[in-house]
Structure 1
Amino acid sequence: MLETIYSLLFIEFLGILVFPIIFTVFWKLPDRGYSISKLLSLLLLVYIIWILGSFDFNYNLKISASVILICFGIISFITFYYNYNYILSFIKREYSLILLIDVIFVLVFAIWLFIRNLDPTIYHTEQVMDFTILNSVMNTSSYPPNDLWYSGNPINYYYYGYLIFGIFFEYLQIEVSLAYNLAIPLIASLSSIVLFGLIWNICTCFQISKLNITLVSICTVTVFNFFSNFQPILEFLNSIQILPKEFILWIAIDGLNYNTESISIFPNDHYWWWRATRVINTFDILSNASLDYTITEFPFFTFALADLHPHLISIPIYLMFLTLLFNYNILNNHNKIISQTKIISNNVFFLFISVTFGSLMITNTWNIPSIFLLLFGTAIIPVRNYFTYKTFFRFKIPLYVSIMSLLLFLPFYNNYVPPVNQIDVVGAISSRFIHIFIVWGFFICIILLFLTIVYRTKHHYFINGRLLNLSFSILPVIFMILIWSILIFVKDTFDGNLLFMIINKNISLLLILITFLFLSHLLITKTEIPIINNQPYLTTNSSNGIYFIITILLIGVVLILIPEYFFIKDQFGNRMNTVFKFSFQSWILFTVFTPFLIYSISTYVRKYRIYYYISFLLISILYLYYSIAFINLQVNNWDKTPSINAHKNFSVHNKMTYDSIQWIQNNLPQGSIILEAPGDSYSNFSKISSFSGYPTVLGWIGHQRQWRPFELEEIFKREKDIENIYISNNINRVKELIKEYGIKYIYLGIQENIKYGEENISKNTFRLFGKRIYQSEEMINGTYIYIYDVN
């Protein structure tokens, strides 16, 4: 409990500490950057510490971070001294906004802390891997950190996101088993207030009442945190036995079977909630084998699953990046305050956006395509109405930001070898129309409804002389399809008629293609778009704000389209990860503006507004079903013992292993290499190194192959060498291998007996020259640790 309070107080302190600086830099934003102050201050603190560690400065985290915070405080005090009238005036005028942001932060944190409390254990999916990396970054002062699952080598993975929260909790001296579970609600709450502030700032561009701005912003946070796609609604209809068996067979969602059990409000299957993220798939007619396994996560699932993965960690930074883009590209310098510091604040702003952009790239490298699209796409908005050769000078600043971010994070790139560097084409397989509707129907229908109203309002303008723009707007898609078709033809990866294949694929994507067509048409049209009905006039900011929204939505659509034609080829050899990461970013981009579009549409249906809102209220209840049903499932399985300790069930259901880990942490020198048996990914292997924080020779084999495809021979060698150490009768060879890998201790427990066979291990000779230093209480199938000195 105290750790939770410390975390909340410290992040609040960080935000307040640097707010005077942020206030002067983001003086154009209506909230003056208060909604991003907590996250941005943490990002700056971590970056400075990371630079120190990357250049091998022998620093103490507690002292170094404290000195950095003192420096922040001094700069903030000086800034406040020269601008206190403006800052105090803002606080007096907008105290309710400041209070609301902090209330949302605490409330969202509390909700997700409660959900995490229902099942705080770390045992499934990639939680163990994420815990391992977090453990590694919290126990080092140099970067890149050592790979606990590949002793003697640094992590070849985008570890920076783990470092952001690792440093935060390490500074507070919160142990990693608590830090992991506190990080999930902290990321959700930071994301929520950044999103709230972004919508508030955008809505303020338009002539909307504060009450409506508040409601739209809160609704956006709600959609972001708790909405799902349409699949759980099908689960509900199946649970109450409304869905026909034929429809379920036709829709072909893996695991969704006709309900033959009793009628219930919630599904009876314990893992039903997984299926909402495994919708898009194609099955072989004869064998029923999966041909196109994909993942389409959304924030609630991601937070509930609690894999502390880079795509989750990067969410608040991604949203903050949108705020920075809005601040630079949309808002004019209409405000006269703090004019004497404009030059300095602009330079500081470019430093902030470069750090944010660079952090996004190395927190999750899958962000790179979309953030480059966002950076360069939004840059053109202020000059969209007068395209000349000088227009391209607008790309000068994005280019500077790109170069600066690469330079700022150069130490990372010097030590990171990308495991994938190849782009391939998607073959005949395509997402089915019905699957696309299930995943994206809510957002696409709202966008198309908004576009229908816009075109109806301005129909005379679009028809008279502007239809040519409509043809230009489809050119990017035609070009992409043409390139895809040529590559398919050259690679000869199609069966039958190529033309039929092209037509079939694009019919499936018709809904997405239509959305792209009309969004891009609006973007290149010079008319003013009446996003709010009966506005007396449009300011430059509100006009730019409209096109900012359209640009973001268009990029979201592009991110859906790309994996239908091309994918980044990884170890799996399919488009699973490309669909996963791109669709997740699309979901976030759509979430940002969909509630605002719902409000915008309502201004055009004043006569039927009450029916309109009732309809969306009912639809919202349906889309909230997933989160309600999931929480109900977790509550029913809860053991009623409040805890956020990741070791909770581990210490109860696997006490022997837990006790040995505790003994290792309390008795062995930090950094000593402990040998344990390696195993497959997502298994119970490698938990000694993961939970203790001590390196082993080889951890999850599958993940090491993903991270190091250029070292497959070495990985295979390590696997065989470890087997020899455990079962070989050649004592000299065992000694050589122990010395080669610098092994100090050998762990012998349940997993080792499973992997190598108890009868094989009992015959080996490594016990003859090793000294037993630990033995569990269980004499049969117990746990032992041996110490070795072969020097």
Structure 2
Amino acid sequence: MDGRYIPKSRRFTPQERPNVPVLELAIVLKWLVAFAALTAVGAPLAAAAFPRLPRRGAALALPAAVVPLALFVFWIGQVTFGLHTVVVGLGLVVAASALAYRRGAEPEWRAVAGGYAVFAVGFLFLVSFRMYNAGITPAGGEQFLHFGLVKALLRAGTLPPEDFWFAGEPLRYYYGTQMQVAAYTLLTDTAPRYGFNLGIAAFYGFLVVSAYGLVGAATALRGRSYRLGGALGVFFVALAGALTTAVRLGFGLLPRETALEYGRPAFDAVRHMPYEEAVVRLSNPFEWGWFYTRYVVPNTLQEFPLYSFVKSDLHGHALANGYILFAAALALSYYLTPAEERGRRLALVYGGMGLVAGVFGFMNTWSLPTVVGLAWLALAAADAHPATLLPASATA
């Protein structure tokens, strides 16, 4: 779990990784406890936002807590940033949760626990991977940049932090993902070299539990199994990748001349490798490399979620996917809300999807149009006319 620099040429053998230090396991446990507490805090908020979803949106309790926490930390951080900022932000989320509970948003606690278990499985899956691949390397894309941003944030007194590559100047870069990792690192009193890897695992857990909660609810609304639907959602969203991998490996069963003659649709998009070499290497399961799975359409990149988490940096476009699914769940909740509940519909649009859009403003603006599109679809498809959200004087 130690995220210090490891040269690319250095490879650990199984004999060198026989045991995981007890200290590292204790850190992982501390993060699990922290996210269990956040899940409990978010449960009434989820129950308030998803009253007509099966299980009252219990699986979405953790995203319901971490999304507003991120926004509060960002706002308060413009004045002062540190552990106290995270604590105050968390206090505001707790206050909102208590208010929702007092107003009747009572969660289904057993389902909340089940949703947390799904998060924990996803979190520990990525922790296990990073445990055997924990180094920050030049081959890791922008790992040096993102780890540097986390450390710069931990040193910062206000936001934005100082640009560690342009001393004395404020950072001009989207840093919302790194800010959230820094916040969890401060909250759990974790060394940043561990927090970097655990932060990646946390966002993978957010993706897993959001996929489970959204797809499980959608299938249950159609009279199907919540658990089966949720499991399929996790598989297709968080685990499955491009079908070109299976197609390329299938070419390994053909004679080489046949594979070279007919393989261009499957291999022509591969970059950094001649076509003939790509056919030979990427059709061989013993030479196949995960890096090339992102080359599907010529002259473009198609990074599916698991690819980005295997790559293991803190790119906002990769780690925002769990929040996009949370926004989709909010859109579904709006669609199911009766026209007469105007206040709830306003809250879902501006306090729900609007809140996610606000986080994307400093986390990943590429995802902002997606949230706007989801809100537009919800408003267009719902029974209530969008104009009913406007003040009565505006529609008179």
TM-score (norm 1): 0.42
Q: What is aligned with 2:357? A: 357
Q: How does 1:60-139 map to 2 (within 5 A)?
A: 61-74=82-95, 76-77=97-98, 79-81=100-102, 83=104, 87=106, 90-91=108-109, 95=110, 97-123=111-137, 124=139, 125-139=141-155
Q: What is aligned with 1:319? A: 325
**Quick one: structure 1 residues 130 and 394, their matched pair in 2 at CA, closer, same or farther if it must change by over 3 Å?**
farther
Distance 2:220 2:279 in 1: 52
Distance 1:273 1:128 in 2: 21
Distance 2:188 2:376 in 1: 39
Q: What is aligned with 1:247? A: 262
2:48 is matched by which residue type in structure 1? T
Q: Which of 25, 31, 35 is residue 11 of structure 1 equivalent to? A: 35
1:216 is matched by which residue type in structure 2? G
1:267 is matched by which residue type in structure 2? F
In the TM superposition, residue 362 of structure 1 has moved relative to its aligned partner by 2.8
Q: Which of 16, 33, 45 is residue 57 of structure 2 equivalent to? A: 33
CA deviations over 1:356-391 (Å, ceiling 9, x no partner):
11112331111233332222133110259xxxxxx5
Report if aligned partners of 1:126, 1:307 keep a CA contact under 8 Å in 2.
Answer: yes
**Quick one: structure 1 residues 394 and 276, their matched pair in 2 at CA, closer, same or farther if it must change by over 3 Å?**
farther
Q: What is aligned with 2:286? A: 267
Q: How does 1:748-759 map to 2 (within 5 A)?
A: none
CA deviations over 1:136-174 (Å, ceiling 9, x no partner):
222213111111111121121111222122211122121
Distance 1:345 1:68 in 2: 24
**Quick one: structure 1 residues 333 and 214, their matched pair in 2 at CA, closer, same or farther if it must change by over 3 Å?**
farther
1:319 is matched by which residue type in structure 2? L
2:216 is matched by which residue type in structure 1? W
Distance 2:281 2:369 in 1: 47
Secondary structure class of the residue paired with 1:297: coil
Distance 1:27 1:68 in 2: 25
Distance 2:282 2:217 in 1: 46
CA RMSD of aligned residues (A): 3.0
Distance 1:23 1:249 in 2: 51
Quick one: percent identity of the two aligned structures?
16
Report if aligned partners of 2:346, 2:389 keep a CA contact under 8 Å in 1.
Answer: no
- Larger-gyration structure (1/2): 1
Distance 1:70 1:359 in 2: 18
Distance 1:235 1:105 in 2: 32
Q: How does 1:212-251 map to 2 (within 5 A)?
A: 212-242=225-255, 244-249=259-264, 251=266
Q: What is aligned with 1:191? A: 207
Secondary structure class of the residue paired with 2:172: coil
**Quick one: structure 1 residues 261 and 63, their matched pair in 2 at CA, closer, same or farther if it must change by over 3 Å?**
closer
Distance 1:206 1:396 in 2: 32
Q: What is aligned with 2:223? A: 207
1:30 is matched by which residue type in structure 2? P
In the TM superposition, residue 194 of structure 1 has moved relative to its aligned partner by 1.1
CA deviations over 1:301-357 (Å, ceiling 9, x no partner):
1111112101112111111111111111234379xxxxxxx7876665432332211
Distance 2:75 2:188 in 1: 20
Report if aligned partners of 1:196, 1:218 keep a CA contact under 8 Å in 2.
Answer: yes
In the TM superposition, residue 222 of structure 1 has moved relative to its aligned partner by 1.1
Q: What is aligned with 1:278? A: 295
Q: What is aligned with 1:686? A: none
Q: What is aligned with 1:393? A: 387
Secondary structure class of the residue paired with 2:382: helix
In the TM superposition, residue 75 of structure 1 has moved relative to its aligned partner by 5.1
Aligned residues: 358
Q: What is aligned with 2:6? A: none
**Quick one: structure 1 residues 241 and 262, their matched pair in 2 at CA, closer, same or farther if it must change by over 3 Å?**
farther
In the TM superposition, residue 82 of structure 1 has moved relative to its aligned partner by 5.6
In the TM superposition, residue 81 of structure 1 has moved relative to its aligned partner by 4.9
Distance 2:344 2:378 in 1: 21
Report if aligned partners of 1:147, 1:153 keep a CA contact under 8 Å in 2.
Answer: yes
1:279 is matched by which residue type in structure 2? V
Gaps of 5+ in 1: 282-292, 335-341, 385-390, 398-791
Report if aligned partners of 1:43, 1:164 keep a CA contact under 8 Å in 2.
Answer: no
**Quick one: structure 1 residues 279 and 78, their matched pair in 2 at CA, closer, same or farther if it must change by over 3 Å?**
closer
In the TM superposition, residue 179 of structure 1 has moved relative to its aligned partner by 1.3
TM-score (norm 2): 0.80
Distance 1:374 1:343 in 2: 19
Q: What is aligned with 1:305? A: 311
CA deviations over 1:393-445 (Å, ceiling 9, x no partner):
26859xxxxxxxxxxxxxxxxxxxxxxxxxxxxxxxxxxxxxxxxxxxxxxxx
Secondary structure class of the residue paired with 1:236: helix
Report if aligned partners of 1:240, 1:265 keep a CA contact under 8 Å in 2.
Answer: no
Q: What is aligned with 2:174? A: 158
In the TM superposition, residue 245 of structure 1 has moved relative to its aligned partner by 1.9
Secondary structure class of the residue paired with 2:233: helix
**Quick one: structure 1 residues 225 and 20, their matched pair in 2 at CA, closer, same or farther if it must change by over 3 Å?**
closer
Distance 2:42 2:386 in 1: 35
1:117 is matched by which residue type in structure 2? M
Report if aligned partners of 2:86, 2:183 keep a CA contact under 8 Å in 1.
Answer: no
